[in-house]
Amino acid sequence: MKIHYFLSSIALVSLLGAGCGSDTPKSADQAEAPIVAPASNPPATETPKSEPVLQNNTYTITIENNTFSPATLSVRQGDSVVIVNNDIAKHSLTSDQANLFDTGLMEKGGKTTLPTSNLVRATYQYHCSAHPGMKGTLTVQ
Ligand SMILES: [Cu+2]
């Protein structure tokens, strides 16, 4: 009799324990928990990498005393080169290779802008069409 009572109490405790477990409102809480829909998140947009803005510069080549100054100039493709003739004599800035660039003969005080955006990156030799001894070098990078 004693053993039977003992087993019965174990079974009773087990039932109580199971009952307690099933009474916990855990499942209800989980069901009421707000569901965050991943679709409501805005799509990840890639932040554009900030690239340095390269501004075109303007350089000046002055012609004075039958000399290009500076006689050697390096510019970036897209920069502009302004050629100014300060001599009384007419001068030009003409590429040695035909038909690349040519300001034509400029009067005193004449000013011509030479764009470089249409020039391939290279080093160009130039001269004055009226004075073959006047020479210079223009590099487009
Ligand atoms: Cu000249």
Under the banding of pLDDT at 50, 70 and 90, the label for residue 19 is very low
pLDDT greater than 90 at residue 96: yes
Q: Specify if 5 maps to a domain.
A: no
DSSP reduced 3-state for 48: coil
Q: Which helix (H) or strand (E) holds 3?
A: helix 2-23
Q: Is residue 99 part of a domain?
A: yes
- Total domains in the fold of the chain: 1
Q: How many A from CA of 115 to the centre of ligand 1?
A: 21
- The CATH number that applies at residue 63 is 2.60.40.420
Choose from 5-9, 17-21, 128-132 the range with maximum mean pLDDT. 128-132
Regarding predicted confidence, which is higher, 97 or 48? 97
Residue 111 lies in a domain: yes
Distance of CA 92 to the CA centre of its chain: 37
Ligand 1: distance of its center to the CA of 125 in Å?
A: 15
Compute the distance from residue 129 Cα to the ligand 1 centre, in Å: 6
pLDDT at 1 over 50: no
- The answer to whether residue 18 sits within a structural domain is no
Q: Is position 19 within any domain?
A: no
For 24-83, write each residue's pLDDT tens digit: 455 445 556 565 555 555 566 666 677 777 789 999 999 999 999 999 999 999 999 999
Q: What is the pTM of this model?
A: 0.63
Residue 115 lies in a domain: yes
Confirm whether 25 is domain-assigned. no
- Please give the residue that has the higher pLDDT: either 59 or 2: 59
Q: How many separate helices (H) and strands (E) can be counted in the chain?
A: 2, 8
Residue 71 Cα, ligand 1 centroid: separation in angstroms? 13
Residue of 15 and 134 predicted with greater confidence: 134
The answer to whether residue 74 is domain-embedded is: yes
How many A from CA of 89 to the centre of ligand 1?
7
- Provide the residue range defining the domain that includes 97: 58-140
* 108-141 residue pLDDT tens: 999 999 999 999 999 999 999 999 999 999 999 9
Please count the other Cβ atoms lying within 10 Å of the Cβ belonging to residue 139.
14
